[in-house]
Structure 1
Amino acid sequence: MFFNSLAFAIFLPIVFFLYWFVFNKTKSTQNALLIVASYYFYSCWDWRFLFLLVFSTFLDYYTGIQIEKGKSEQSRKFWFWLSVLVNLGFLGIFKYYNFFATSFSELLNSVGIQASPILLKVILPVGISFYTFHGLSYVIDIYYKRIKAEYNFVDYSLFVSYFPLLVAGPIERATHLLPQVKVKREFDLEKAKEGVCQIIWGLVKKVIIADTCATYANAIFDNYTSMNSFSLILGAVYFAFQIYGDFSGYSDIALGVSKLFGLDLLRNFNYPYFSRDIAEFWRRWHISLSSWFRDYLYIPLGGSKGGIWMKIRNTFIIFVVSGFWHGANWTYITWGFINAIYFLPLLLRNSNRNNIDEIKVTWNLDSVKVIVSILTTFLITCVAWVFFRARTISDAVLYLKRIVTNRDFAFQFLENDRYNYELLLMIGIFVLVEWNNRTKVEPLSGKNSMLKIALAILAIMAFGTFSDYKEFIYFQF
């Protein structure tokens, strides 16, 4: 069930009505309804994997209690590692087993040892990377005595499987969401309005920007050997806006839907393409994942407190692991490695925290430097995105090589219903709207909000009717 589907357009109002007008008596009834709705939502993908979600939920719920009750450090460690290893074990089997088996087989073949890997014929359970990280952060926080274990199974289950964030995040923390789940929610009209605006803006990003860019990005990447330099540059730019509109659009819809039920989720994007360096980019892009790796991997490894080699090691570990989290492919690992290289000069100069203030442009020399920094950061980000999008590392390298060596900058048209001119104009308008509203969560509220909402809905309906691309990119992770 996609957020941009007719099924969800029917599902959401029904759950909203039941939540506020039938099951609104107590916190327990509200949570119970959301659990049922969440399990139904997840079962629409594949009901068989619902059992995996329930098992993972019960595992972390039970081990969390045992860790807190443990009378010895040995007992606490046992339950902690049981949870961590089982969670990572499931993630490894479903997501990474075939990758490791194939890679090991190829390594043996390269040294003359013939090997045929035994592969598992399983599909990746949707959202497994996200709900696994929900549970892991909860158990880790209990083990280090940052939080208390949750004894109400329904409340904990809702924290893990809440349907707006279940399949593609944001990755929530128990310290943020569980306190909201444990109290009865009262209807807040202003919050609901904010939620509706955020949902609509998320659909604008997804349907108008991401899906339209996907048509061209897919055509260019699939036929890159016949594309000239200019088309290949456009392909990288189109994919950059596709993945941003797609994933940040999903996050906006998730946050907006959650506001309809009186629950606030963590913000996941903060206009990342206006970043002035790669460190700022990662503070603005997929914030919940970046902060998760910072708190549960980078800092435990020593963070930036050790010597220079420890800092370099930790930087490469966190970026490479982040890349690997996205998928079982060397392209994702390479993408993470490239971002680590981008980040390294900032780390060595201790300038990775320079750009934490609000972006201001007043049309002076300093403003020119800001704009150049933003464009440079976007450029190197697009280069890295080529590896993220390409099927293989060889394809990515040849793609970039052809940009440099082809040197043909004529305007090519592709065989589809949309034209490049209109798409470039639309991206330009989108960038201007985001720039003008970069201090807001979404641009539709405020002055003339009803007119902006009406125009946005008309545009969504118009583009959605002709769109041939529906899925969200991050569902595969």
Structure 2
Amino acid sequence: MLFNSIDFAIFLPIVFALYWFATRKHLKLQNLLIVASSYVFYGWWDYRFLALILFSTIVDYSVGLMLQKTNQQSKRKGLLWLSILVNIGLLGFFKYYNFFIDNFTQAFSFFGTEVQPNSLNIILPVGISFYTFQTLSYTIDVYRQRLQPTKDFIAFAAFVSFFPQLVAGPIERATNLLPQFYKKRQFVYSQAVDGLRQILWGLFKKIVIADNCAFFVNTIFDGYSDYSGSTLLLGAVFFAFQIYGDFSGYSDIAIGTARLFGFKLKQNFAFPYFSRDIAEFWRRWHISLSTWFRDYVYIPLGGSRGTRLNQIRNVFVIFLVSGFWHGANWTFIVWGALNAFYFLPLLLFGKNRIHTNIAAEHGVLPTVKEGMMMLLTFLLTTLGWIFFRADNITMAFDYVHRITNISLLSIPEIRPTFLIIFIGLFIMIEWFGRRQLYAIETLWLGYPKALRWGIYYFIVMIIFLYGGKEQEFIYFQF
């Protein structure tokens, strides 16, 4: 079920009404309603894969309880590895089986040996990368004794399947979200209004910015050999805004929807295109995934400690794994490696944590230096997005090569004025709202009520009048 669909527009009010009017006095019933609603939400796409979520839930719930019953380290490690192998095994099979089979075949063909292993017509379950990492974080934290395992199966099932963030995050930690299912929730009007405001901004990002960008991105990338370098650069820039509007828009809708039900999810994007270097970008982009890899992969490897060689190894491991997490294609691995090369000099020269505040923290506009740093970071990021978007490695390198010729100085053949205006307006609103958790959180709260609501209705009108053709969220494929 898509957030930007009629189905969800009907589904959400029904669940909201049942949650606050029929079950609000009974915590167990509220949690059970969340589980049932989440399974309906997910099953709307393909009910057959509900068994995967249920199986993952049962495995990690049981492992958590068994970890509590033993202090023997060998048994605890065995239980941890059971959880890891089950979850990563499912993820690996559905997401990477054909990738490894195809590359295995090509490797043997390179040496003159023909093999014909069987590929399978495997459907990738939506959101499997997200809920797999969410349940894994629970098991690992219980193993590390940072979290007491729950005995409440319904609460745990609700934590795993919570429908606002089930299929594309944010990837919540059990330490933050699970305890919220133990506590009685009270309806708070101001909290609900804040949630609706964030949903509105998420829909604007998705429907007006991302979906309109998607049309031109698809046109340019599909026929890239026919366009000038300037048009190809514009296509890459449009994709940068498409993926940001699409994914951060989903996160805003998810977080806002959770607020309607009395839950607080963590911020997943913190205005990443205002970053002044790649290290800052990765602290602001897909925060839940970046911190997951930091805490469960990078730091256990040694992080930035140890020898220079170990530091370089750890940086490449974390970015390559992150790239591979996004999909079974060499383009994602190259994208991860490229970001590792961007990041490495900052780490080696101790410059990776010099920008921990926001740009122009005490002013309205950035300094010339900050502006140039943000532009350079955006261009480097956009170059990486070409590999992320391309169908294959050959296309990605050819696309980049075609940008870097004399036609880069020409006027683009495709220049949608309305979309450029919307992107400019979008950047301006995000800039002035960059101190908040999302751009319009408090941006117009000081205005008279009539004017403030007029702005909200204007955004709604823009969504209906200028929304692009309905597109699935990009991160559903991951």
The TM-score with structure 1 as length reference comes to 0.96
The CA distance in 1 between the partners of 2:357 and 2:343, in whole Å, is 19
Aligned-pair CA distance for 1:357 = 1.5
Give the secondary structure class of the aligned counterpart of 1:351. Answer: coil
Aligned-pair CA distance for 1:106 = 0.6
Aligned-pair CA distance for 1:371 = 0.4
> Which residue in the other structure is 1:345 paired with?
345
Aligned-pair CA distance for 1:264 = 0.4
> Which residue in the other structure is 1:468 paired with?
469
Higher mean Cα deviation, 69-78 or 331-340? 69-78
> Which residue in the other structure is 2:423 paired with?
427
Q: What amino acid does structure 1 have at the position aligned with 2:455?
A: K
Q: What amino acid does structure 2 have at the position aligned with 1:432?
A: M
The CA distance in 2 between the partners of 1:50 and 1:152, in whole Å, is 20
User: In the alignment, is residue 50 of structure 1 matched against residue 46 of structure 2?
Assistant: no
> Which residue in the other structure is 2:446 paired with?
447
The CA distance in 2 between the partners of 1:83 and 1:244, in whole Å, is 33
> Which residue in the other structure is 1:90 paired with?
90
Q: CA-to-partner distance for each residue in 1:133-185, whole Å, 9 max, x for gaps?
A: 01110001111111111110000011110000100000000110011111010
Aligned length: 471
> Which residue in the other structure is 1:395 paired with?
395
Aligned-pair CA distance for 1:68 = 1.5
> Which residue in the other structure is 2:432 paired with?
436
Give the secondary structure class of the aligned counterpart of 1:86. Answer: helix
Aligned-pair CA distance for 1:413 = 4.1
The TM-score with structure 2 as length reference comes to 0.96
> Which residue in the other structure is 2:185 paired with?
185
Aligned-pair CA distance for 1:70 = 1.7
Aligned-pair CA distance for 1:463 = 2.3
Give the secondary structure class of the aligned counterpart of 2:125. Answer: coil
Aligned-pair CA distance for 1:373 = 0.3
1:76-87 equivalent positions in 2, closer than 5 A: 76-87=76-87
> Which residue in the other structure is 1:313 paired with?
313
Aligned-pair CA distance for 1:76 = 1.3
Structure 2 unaligned runs (5+)?
A: none
Aligned-pair CA distance for 1:365 = 12
Aligned-pair CA distance for 1:447 = 3.0
The CA distance in 1 between the partners of 2:72 and 2:361, in whole Å, is 58
Aligned-pair CA distance for 1:408 = 4.9
> Which residue in the other structure is 2:6 paired with?
6
Q: CA-to-partner distance for each residue in 1:323-359, whole Å, 9 max, x for gaps?
A: 0000000000000000000000100101100000121
> Which residue in the other structure is 1:205 paired with?
205
The CA distance in 2 between the partners of 1:143 and 1:408, in whole Å, is 54
1:28-39 equivalent positions in 2, closer than 5 A: 28-39=28-39
The CA distance in 2 between the partners of 1:152 and 1:169, in whole Å, is 23
The CA distance in 2 between the partners of 1:90 and 1:59, in whole Å, is 12
Aligned-pair CA distance for 1:115 = 1.8
The CA distance in 1 between the partners of 2:364 and 2:127, in whole Å, is 46
Higher mean Cα deviation, 67-76 or 374-383? 67-76
Q: What amino acid does structure 2 have at the position aligned with 1:452?
A: I
Contact 2:94 2:125 in 1 (8 A): yes
Contact 1:27 1:183 in 2 (8 A): yes
The CA distance in 1 between the partners of 2:461 and 2:282, in whole Å, is 33
Q: What amino acid does structure 2 have at the position aligned with 1:428?
A: G
The CA distance in 2 between the partners of 1:365 and 1:91, in whole Å, is 45
Among the aligned pairs, what percent are the same residue?
52
The CA distance in 2 between the partners of 1:471 and 1:366, in whole Å, is 35
Contact 2:320 2:337 in 1 (8 A): yes
Higher mean Cα deviation, 100-109 or 381-390? 100-109
1:214-363 equivalent positions in 2, closer than 5 A: 214-360=214-360
Q: What amino acid does structure 1 have at the position aligned with 2:193?
A: K
Q: What amino acid does structure 1 have at the position aligned with 2:477?
A: Q
Shift of the 363–447 alpha-carbon distance from structure 1 to 2, 3 Å rule, reads: closer
1:119-158 equivalent positions in 2, closer than 5 A: 119-158=119-158
> Which residue in the other structure is 2:40 paired with?
40
Q: What is the aligned counterpart of 1:458 among 456, 461, 466?
A: 461
Contact 1:413 1:420 in 2 (8 A): no
The CA distance in 1 between the partners of 2:376 and 2:75, in whole Å, is 52
The CA distance in 1 between the partners of 2:432 and 2:323, in whole Å, is 32
The CA distance in 2 between the partners of 1:440 and 1:363, in whole Å, is 15
Q: CA RMSD in A?
A: 1.5
Contact 1:276 1:355 in 2 (8 A): yes
Contact 2:227 2:413 in 1 (8 A): no
